[in-house]
Each structure stands twice: as C-alpha cells, then as structure tokens.
Structure 1
C-alpha cells in the first residue's frame, strides 16, 4: 500500500502524499487518489493493517483511515488493539515458537556465522520474534537463501528474500493466524456477520499464506510473489506495477467489499 521513492516504478507526475517519515525525512508515499479512497474503505469493511514491520516501525506510518481498532504487526507476532500490543496473543505466539524448534538466539547465532560485510549491511532482531538482513541484492552469494532456508526448516523456521531484506522467521509467526484471530474477535462482538468475507493484499512470500487463506486476494504485478510467479484460485493480479498498483488494489477493495 505504501512505497519508497525507489519503488515508485513508472508513476510519472502522479500526485503523491507522504505517509511515513524517518528522523524527519519523508520515506514512504501513496498516490493522493489511493489515500483518499482508503479513507472511504473503512465504511463498508473492517480494515486491518497487516505488516511484517515491527510495532515501532508501524507506528511511524500515518495510514489514511486511522485510528485503527486492530492492526497486525511483526508478521502476525503482535496484534495491536487501539495501538497497544495484546499481551495474551503475544504470550501464545511465544509459546508456540518455543515449542516449534530453535530459539531466536540460536538461529541468529548460526546466521552470523554465514554472513559477511561484503554483502550484508545490517542484521536486525525484530520485536524479539525474528531477524532479518539488509543486503546488497546483487552481491548475495548464489544459493544462500535456499541453503539457509533448508537449515531453518529443520528447526521450525523459514527464510525468504524481499528486495534488500532477507527474513528469517519462525513458522509459528504467521499473518494468516493473526488475521483469523482478529476476524474471530470481530465476529464474537457482532461487528462482523458470520458470512462476512475476508479480502487480503500482499506482495511477498511472507504474505502467501494470508492470501491463500482469504476468501479473495490480490497481489501487485511486482515483488517477491511476482518473481515466484505465485498464484492461487482466489487471486487477482494487478495490471499496474509500483505505486500505481497500490492505487489499483484500493480500487479493487472498494469494488469488491460491498458486493
């Protein structure tokens, strides 16, 4: 939904609005049309911002339509309720990660033995849940992600690359599970009818299970899932790429949700 300048693609002179600043500098944008339409999306639907970003990183974003009753951050590891992490959910996730295999400390220690400064610029631990590398994509050793993912899978984790970031994630930390939990809560309180459908959008491998689990899903014609040529019977793929794909996704939500 939001894009850095490097990810705009061929947007031309389309009017933009900045929706994220970092240390006072503009960082991420939407088209003005997408921002306006996203505000109206909250009328026919319960909108749940869902991201791999940490709680702190999500807090930098001024997404149109806020404030949000619920949001999912940390790839599903945290559910925010009125902006505050739900500790009951987080305790459940942490317990499942421990039961699933290796700890974050063990995984990150092994990862450090496999990387060097020639192609890695940062190694970050995210919300005490997972870790990721910021890399020079063209310098990543051939086969690294595949080999690292194979090591991780035997220990209850996985690895995937999205642009300049290589994520190492516990299998128990999953956006689809957190979205299903929020949907259950909204159904229990009567805010959603039992027949309400779930619509989802995403562009990376970490989004695939969420898209697969939704009743209807959409992805842009760019990003990791495009590179993987990933598809599913419930999936729509945008015509546009870059920031204009974000606008097309908003329009798809608006056209689909009322129906």
Structure 2
C-alpha cells in the first residue's frame, strides 16, 4: 500500500468539471468526463485532466460533491478509480464505490433528532413557489431537496426569505446556478471529509501530519475550505458573488473552465516534490 503525503478534497461541478454553459469565455481543448442520456454533458480541459492524473499518483484525492451517488457515478474523472468519495453533500461516503451504511445511519439519526423533516421542508418550499419561476422541485438521497429555477424570473429576496424560514428548523438554503438547495445542517461536506481523513490516517493510507487541501465554488463548500490547511476557490460561483474570502483560501485569476487548471496546479504545488 502506497502511503499518501497529501489529502485533496475537491468539489466537482464548476470547480473541476464544467458544462458548456459554464465554460466562460474560454474554448480550450477539452475531454468529456460525463455523459447523460447518451449525450456529452461535462468536460475538463485537456491540461487539467492530464495534471489531475499526475496528482492522483501522489495524493489521496477525494471527490466531494452535492450530487447523489447515481449522479456521481456518471462521471469518469481522470486519475480514478477513487478509494473514497463523498456524495450528497456529505450524506454518503463511498468506499471503493460502495456506500458506507454506518455513516449514513448515524447521520440519519442526527438529522431526525435536530432538524425538521424533509416532508415538512419540501411542503413549505412547494407552497412558496409557482410556475412563473420554479421549473422543478427534486429530492436527493432522501436527505435534502432543491428547486431548479429560472434565474431571470426569481423574485428578489426569495432566497433570503427561504433561508430565514429554514434556519430555526435546522436547515439552510443556498443557491448554485439554477439550483436552490435546502439542506439539513448536519449534512455537511466538511464532516464527511473529516471522517474520511480519520479513516485514511488510521489505516495508514495517509501519512500522519499530512496536510488537507480543498477546493470548491459554492456556499456548501465554504466550511470545507475553511477547515482545510490550505484551499482555493475559482473566481466564479456563489462564493465569488458573495465576495467571500478567507486568509487560507486562495482565489484563481481565471474564471470559467480555465480556473480548473489553476486549481489542480495549486494542489500539485503542495503534493509533488520539487
């Protein structure tokens, strides 16, 4: 077993992988990393893909996503397969592609004890929307729900009002692109990343004292970025819109798909011996 010197926890959508709509002004050489219903959906630049493979040779790379297990399994990320991955915003930990039942059972128990039910939250959200701006309302992994909206028609103040309702009930609201998420507070990427790190240290897969690096673009990534030893975010996305900064979080110079190259280079700078 090769012991890794660095752990890298990275968000995927609009951090490492991008749909065409999220490319920005760039038109780089690209590789398709996800197909949906037989059609290409998400891409990486050739440069980012090649460098991610190099990173995976030396570091414990852990994909961390708000996608469900099924949605994550559509992705063919260069450098895989991954011994660990985190899906459903921390709701599921995958070990060699299989969900860890003990983690999910403990998380479900905490959500039941501390939060309003998903049924209650979804019913309240449905009562607040109409077809003028709400396109779809979905549940994910029996954990959280999200609303797909027409951003041009979204009423001013909707997100803030919805978040204000959620907070006293143990939930929070955030927006990433066209999706407005309602998430139970215990369902958090950083909690799952911490658990994965403990397991890899205990098993000897990760060297004791090795740094944790992280990357992400949205509010659901913020705690993961703050708790890392060093982190980076792209110059786009929800955190950029909020002008969110932190002393240990770098910001890419580029926005759009080119930002992914800077993110992987940031990881490589700490992971590859010079």
TM-score bracket, normalised by the shorter chain, equals over 0.9
Structure 2 residue aligned with 1:199:
213
Match of 1:28 among 18, 35, 42: 42
Match of 2:87 among 73, 89, 98: 73
Structure 2 residue aligned with 1:50:
64
How many residues align structurally? 258
- Give the TM-score of the pair, scaled to structure 1: 0.98
Query: How far is 1:251 from its partner?
Result: 1.0
Match of 1:100 among 97, 111, 114: 114
Structure 1 residue aligned with 2:18:
3
SS of the aligned residue for 1:97 comes to: helix
SS of the aligned residue for 2:111 comes to: helix
SS of the aligned residue for 1:168 comes to: strand
Cα distance in 2, alignment partners of residues 196 and 83 from structure 1:
24
Q: Does 1:146 align with 2:160?
A: yes
Query: How far is 1:101 from its partner?
Result: 1.9
Structure 1 residue aligned with 2:248:
234
Per-residue deviation, residues 98-140 of structure 1 (Å, max 9, x unmatched): 1112011110011110011110111000000000011001111
Per-residue deviation, residues 138-179 of structure 1 (Å, max 9, x unmatched): 111111110110110010000011110000000000000000
SS of the aligned residue for 1:133 comes to: strand
Match of 1:88 among 102, 106, 109: 102
Query: How far is 1:258 from its partner?
Result: 3.5
Query: How far is 1:257 from its partner?
Result: 2.1
- Give the TM-score of the pair, scaled to structure 2: 0.93
SS of the aligned residue for 1:113 comes to: helix
Per-residue deviation, residues 55-96 of structure 1 (Å, max 9, x unmatched): 010010000111111000000000001111100000011011
SS of the aligned residue for 2:32 comes to: strand
Q: Does 1:220 align with 2:220?
A: no
Structure 1 residue aligned with 2:30:
16
Q: Which has the higher contact order (CA 8 A, sep 6+)?
A: 2
Match of 1:172 among 168, 183, 186: 186
Q: Which runs of 5+ in 2 are unaligned?
A: 1-15
SS of the aligned residue for 2:207 comes to: coil
Cα distance in 1, alignment partners of residues 97 and 206 from structure 2:
21
Per-residue deviation, residues 27-57 of structure 1 (Å, max 9, x unmatched): 0000011111111111221000000001010
> Would the aligned equivalents of 2:55 and 2:272 in 1 still touch at CA under 8 Å?
no
Q: Does 1:210 align with 2:224?
A: yes
